[in-house]
């Protein structure tokens, strides 16, 4: 009869602190690791805010727009936009400005202002062709402007239709023509011939000068609508005798009775001026204080009448005005 298998005793649990073999069935308890908290990386600080970036971007586009788009109106809009956005960005930067906000805002403001100013006042500096594309101002052949005699190109003051100016202190500018009275004298004419009596006259030297770039025809004084008039303070009119055109002379003013009255005011350095001596008959006891001279602008192909007032005999020279 077979013998029963030997009984195997159950192994008792290992006592605490007992060491077992590495191959034993007892498990080794390891301490659990503490959880590691999640730390996010700090966000990098931006150098420029959104509004400032937009402002500087518009300003840069406006600066190069004359060559990028070739559109004057678009350049003005971009420059204005740079000013507007730069102002908004500057207001929003108070107390919250980033590192380069103020730099961008100032560049946008200054650049926008300069570009807008040039585009409005002198677009030819940005793009020469734009100067040609600007509408040509219509010529004003009627308005007369009173300007100081020493500053013929000054802005002056527009004159009323019946306004009179002082012949010594002022000249009259009409578009590109300067009308000046350079002297007033009371000589005596001595016509040729023994039977011809001397004639006392009032001689007025009138000078026309061209400030423009176009040639201006001048018909002279003495016929039809170009006859000048001279009256005294009481309203008495002096009879007009003749006009004589000045001829070239380096020493003094020479007026030739035989020279043709028609002339041209040239656009070059030479020939820009022409002078006329207007002769009026002088009655005995004539008084030239507060006398008035009227010159029809038809003599230089313009409209209206230039009116000057005198206060006695005088002469204008390069050194000043001499009164007698």
> Tens-of-pLDDT digits for all 324 residues of the chain?
445 555 544 544 555 544 445 544 445 565 555 565 555 454 455 666 777 788 788 888 887 877 777 777 888 888 888 888 878 877 777 666 676 777 887 888 888 888 888 777 777 677 665 555 555 566 777 899 999 998 999 999 999 988 999 999 999 999 899 999 999 999 988 877 656 788 899 999 999 999 988 899 999 998 888 999 999 888 889 999 999 999 877 667 789 888 999 999 988 777 889 999 999 998 887 788 889 999 999 999 899 999 999 888 899 887 888 887
Residue at 8 is within a domain: no
Residue 317 C-beta-side C-alpha neighbours within 13 Å:
8
Domain boundary among 99, 133, 167: 133
Q: What is the pLDDT of residue 49?
A: 74
Same-domain pairing of 174 and 318: yes
Q: What is the pLDDT of residue 304?
A: 92
Same-domain pairing of 101 and 153: no
Q: What is the pLDDT of residue 79?
A: 84
Same-domain pairing of 255 and 303: yes
What is the rounded end-to-end Cα distance, in angstroms, of the chain? 178
Domain of residue 193: give its range: 145-323
Same-domain pairing of 96 and 162: no
| Backbone phi and psi for residue 105, each to the nearest 5 degrees, phi listed first | -65, -45
Same-domain pairing of 108 and 225: no
Same-domain pairing of 123 and 151: no
CA 243-248-252 angle, 5° bins: 85
Q: Rounded to whole angstroms, how far apart are CA atoms 263 and 278? A: 16
Same-domain pairing of 74 and 152: no
Structural contact between residues 58 and 108, judged by C-beta atoms closer than 8 angstroms: yes
Q: What is the pLDDT of residue 46?
A: 60
Same-domain pairing of 159 and 103: no
| Backbone phi and psi for residue 64, each to the nearest 5 degrees, phi listed first | -100, 0
pTM of the model: 0.58
Domain boundary among 92, 111, 133: 133
Q: What is the pLDDT of residue 241?
A: 93
Same-domain pairing of 129 and 150: no
Residue at 3 is within a domain: no
Same-domain pairing of 267 and 183: yes
Partner residues linked to 274 by β-bridges:
208
Domain boundary among 133, 166, 188: 133
Same-domain pairing of 155 and 102: no
Q: What is the pLDDT of residue 298?
A: 93
């Amino acid at each position: 009869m077979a013998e029963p298998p030997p009984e195997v005793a159950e192994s008792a649990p290992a006592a605490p602190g007992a060491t077992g073999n590495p191959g034993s069935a007892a498990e080794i308890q390891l301490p659990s690791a503490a959880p590691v908290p999640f730390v996010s990386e700090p966000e990098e600080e931006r150098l420029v805010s959104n509004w400032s970036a937009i402002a500087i971007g518009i300003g840069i586009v406006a600066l190069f727009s004359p060559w990028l788009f070739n559109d004057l109106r678009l350049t003005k809009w971009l420059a204005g936009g740079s000013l507007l956005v730069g102002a908004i960005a500057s207001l929003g930067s108070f107390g919250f400005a980033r590192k380069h906000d103020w730099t961008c805002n100032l560049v946008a403001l200054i650049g926008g202002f300069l570009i807008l100013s040039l585009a409005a006042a002198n677009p030819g500096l940005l793009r020469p062709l734009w100067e040609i594309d600007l509408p040509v101002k219509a010529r004003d052949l009627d308005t007369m402007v009173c300007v100081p005699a020493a500053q013929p190109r000054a802005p002056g003051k527009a004159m009323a239709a019946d306004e009179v100016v002082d012949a010594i202190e002022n000249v009259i500018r009409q578009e590109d023509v300067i009308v000046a009275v350079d002297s007033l004298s009371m000589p005596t004419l001595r016509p040729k011939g023994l039977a011809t009596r001397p004639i006392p006259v009032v001689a007025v030297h009138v000078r026309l000068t061209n400030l423009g770039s176009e040639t201006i025809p001048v018909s002279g004084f003495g016929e039809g609508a170009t006859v000048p008039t001279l009256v005294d303070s009481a309203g008495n009119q002096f009879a007009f005798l003749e006009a004589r055109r000045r001829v070239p002379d380096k020493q003094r003013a020479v007026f030739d009775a035989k020279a043709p009255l028609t002339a041209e005011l040239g656009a070059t350095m030479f020939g820009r001026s022409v002078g006329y001596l207007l002769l009026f008959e002088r009655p005995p006891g004539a008084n030239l204080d507060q006398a008035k001279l009227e010159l029809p602008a038809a003599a230089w192909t313009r409209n209206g009448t230039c009116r000057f007032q005198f206060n006695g005999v005088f002469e204008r020279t390069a050194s000043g005005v001499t009164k007698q």
